[in-house]
Amino acid sequence: MDGGISWKKLDRQAERSEMKTPLNYSYSANGIRFSIDRFIDTNGHVEDKGIKSENGRKIALPQRHVLKSVYFDKKSRLYISGSAPLCDTGGNMQPCDKENARGTLYISRQEIRY
């Protein structure tokens, strides 16, 4: 919680079922696939717009990021991990706050069932 300044070793090892692999898609509790809404233009520039469901629903994020993974917990809350917020600086996307650039984790307050 302190930005990786201090680390503590866990007393017990995590169970293998708790270990997660970052994915660019996940399924909600009712079986709908959600994935990163990634746009690649003709010049090869990549922009992550947010999250989209297989039935066309889109979830926009308040800031721009390079998104890494999408995950649903057992209560169907959505977790989205990505880079630090990005800002356009003369045509280049850079972290908005370079000195304190940290990854971002969005967690939905309520379950996602659409």
User: Alpha carbon of 12 to those of 8, 9, 15: distances in Å?
Assistant: 12, 9, 9
| Structural domain boundaries in the chain | 25-107
Query: Distance between alpha carbon 76 and the CA centroid of its chain, in Å?
Result: 15
CA 62 – CA 25 distance, rounded (Å): 20
| pLDDT tens for the 114 residues of the chain, in order | 566 666 666 666 555 555 555 578 999 888 999 999 998 888 878 888 999 999 889 999 999 999 999 999 988 999 999 999 899 888 778 888 888 888 899 999 988 877
Q: What is the pTM for the complete model shown?
A: 0.73
